[in-house]
Structures are given as structure tokens and as C-alpha cells.
Amino acid sequence: MRKENQANLALAISVFGAVGTAGQGSSLLVSTIHHGFLAATVGGLADWFAVKAIFGCPLGISHRTDILRRNRARIMESLVQFSADDLLSKQNIMEVIEREDIGALLVEYLEHRGGRERLIEATVDILRHVAADVDSHRISKELAPYVIRALHALPLEDSFVELLDVLTEEPHTDRIFNILIRMGLQLIQTQVFQEMLRENIASIRTEYEGDGMFRAFVLSFFDDEMIAAWLTERLTDILQSAMEHDDRRHRDGVQALVSFVTALRTNPSLHDALHRYKVHVIEHIEIENILIDFIEHRMKGSHPFWIPYVKELLNEKIDVFAHSESWQNRADRWMKNLAAEEVEKHHGMIAEFVRDYLNQKSDDELISFVEGKVQTDLQMIRVNGAIVGAFVGMGLSLLVVCAERVWGL
């Protein structure tokens, strides 16, 4: 049952009780009950009038009633001041914030409430939107001169010479020589090499035979295919034996490679040739188009290259934060200082917000809003008024009876 119905029921019982017990004899019990119902009726009616007077004009009486409507401005300002200066004062807000361990709350959110995934996804989404808004043509045009300048400044010539120094070291030259041998083994088995070999054999045969019938007769026992197969087999054996570290061919080949690289490194024209080649490549390379393609397909696109790196970086930083008490304390202090600054800066917005919210409501809407919030408590006042009135009425009735009997003595 609603509190208002309870209050109305209490008032109705009081009225019917007072009417029902009126003139029912002069016994002490009936008289006491009658005065109790009568006092409850008076108390209930008084409280009903008081409650109704707050929100309207009960019984059409307008003198000092409809309190909320007539005193709207003063009541609203009191509510605003109470909200801003008492309930949500700077001190109260900061006391609540200071009691919380924000660093620990952040760790709990990141580790156990899906915060890590949400933070990473939100960061990636933000970076995706930032990348999507990048004007690739404008950025490429602005970056191209700096890239070209950086390429010109790169000491590629010196780096190549240093690379040659590394290649002359024994482990590297040995590996490079073996790589060259394996490439040679693959090369002699290719169709192009075999065709070239047969062409050269045919040319040599023609030149060797000349007008000599005896030479032609001897060479007639060997066709070009046989000679090409024999040479291929012989070359394969030589190259395979050259891969053996203890073989003389291997040692001589490695030494020859070292000598070649050393001679190349000390060649005075190498540096100039490399520099000219670098300049030639830089002048003919389309830097802007390369940058545009990189931005459009590698930075934007459906699978930007930077996403795995960003996720890995964020996971590492979150792990460090979760296991570092000093980081958590720094985050806690930073966020509390930030909150204090924001509260100090924007605390006046609380009063403005409450005032604007109340000003948006008409008188009837404001009355309905306030009544809905305090109705339960106000109706309990009516119920309590009826109950208290009943006990007070019965008490006073007993006191009067006792006094009359005392004076009658």
C-alpha cells in the first residue's frame, strides 16, 4: 500500500472513530478512546493541511499556502547552494577521491575487468582514425625533400667499404665462397647454360676441324651432346670438390676471393663510383610516389604495419604498470592532482548545472518533481501525526479526569 493511502486510511479511521465514539457513554475507557480519536483527527488534519500547503492551496485557502510555488526562487537558490557548497563541496569531493587508491583500481580494471583489451582497442581505433585523416599526397610532398636530403647524407659509400672489410674475415669469405659454388652448381644445370655450352662446342668444333679431314674424322666419334655432358660432369666434380674445406681448390678459391675483395676495397675509384651511383639512383627514384604508396597501403589500408607494434608496446607498458608499485603511486597521485585541479577549476559548474536543470522545469513540473522525491517521508509525517495525536489525546483525557477527581475530593 502506498504511503499516501496509509496516511489517508489513518485519517479516515481517526474521523470515523471520533464520530463513532461520540455520545457512547461516560465511562473512562470510552471517553479516553474518544479523545484519542479526536486528537488523532485534529493531528491528521493539521498534518494533511501542512503537507498540502507545501505543494498547493488545500481547501482553496491561498494565505501562506502553495509554499513551493510562491517561494520558488528562494528555495531553488537554497537547493543550488546546498548542492554546491554542502553536499558536493570541494572538500567533500576531494575527501572521497583521496580515500580511493586509484592506482590499484586501475590495475584491477586492466587485469581483471577487460580494461587491457579495451584500452588497446581504443588506442588502435584512435590511431586508425588519425591515420585515415592523413593527406598522403600533401605529407609525401612535404617529406620528400627531407628524405632526399637524408639519402644524400647517408654514408653509403663508407658503409659499403666497411662491409667489404667484414667480408674479408675468414668465416664470412668461406661462407660466401661456398654460396658462390652452390650457385655455380645450379647454374651449369640450367637449360640456358647447356644451350650456350653446346653453341660454343659447335663453334670450337668448326674452327678446329677447319680443312683437316683427319681432325674431322677423329671428332666424328664425339658429338656435341657427349662433349657437353662430359664437360658438365667435369665442372660439377670440380665445383663439388671445391666445397671441401681441406681441398686445395677450396683454399685457393677462398684466397682468391679475399684478394679480389681487398683489391676492390682499396680501389681509389670505388668510392667515387659508388657516390655517383647513389646520386643517380636518388635523382631517378620517385620518392613522393613511394611515400604515397607506403602511407596508403602500409599506414592506412586494412592491415597497417604498425598495429602489432603498438599492441606489443601497450602490453609491455601495462605489464610494467601492473607490477610496479611506484608507477601505480605516480598514477594515483597524478590523477588525484588532476581531479583537484579540475574540481577547483570547474566546481562552479555544479551550481550552474543544478540551477539550469531546475530552471528548465515549469512550476507544476518542479512541484511534481519535488513531491515525488519527498512524498513518502511527508506521508509518514501524516501517519505519525495521527498516531502521536491519538496518544496525546488519550493522555490529556486521562490527566483531565484524574485532575477532576482530585479536585472533586
- What is the per-residue pLDDT for 312? 94
At 267, is the secondary structure helix, strand, or coil?
coil
pTM: 0.53
- What is the per-residue pLDDT for 211? 53
- What is the per-residue pLDDT for 126? 92
- Distance in angstroms between the alpha carbons of the first and the last residue of the chain: 51
Crossing angle for the helix pair 156-167 and 268-284, nearest 10 degrees?
A: 130
Rounded Cα gap, residues 27 and 295, in angstroms: 103
| pLDDT tens track for 341-365 | 988 888 888 888 888 887 887 877 7
| Contact residues for 47 (Cβ-Cβ < 8 A; gap 6+) | 381, 382, 385, 386
Rounded Cα gap, residues 236 and 193, in angstroms: 13
Crossing angle for the helix pair 191-209 and 224-242, nearest 10 degrees?
A: 120
| pLDDT tens track for 87-139 | 888 888 888 889 989 999 999 999 999 999 999 999 999 999 988 888 999 99
Crossing angle for the helix pair 115-132 and 307-322, nearest 10 degrees?
A: 140
Q: Report whether 231 contacts 198 (CB < 8 A).
A: no
- What is the per-residue pLDDT for 222? 55
Task: For the chain, list residues with pLDDT below 70.
Answer: 1, 24-26, 201-202, 204-224, 408-409
Residue 381's nearest CA partner among 78, 76, 49, 103 is 49
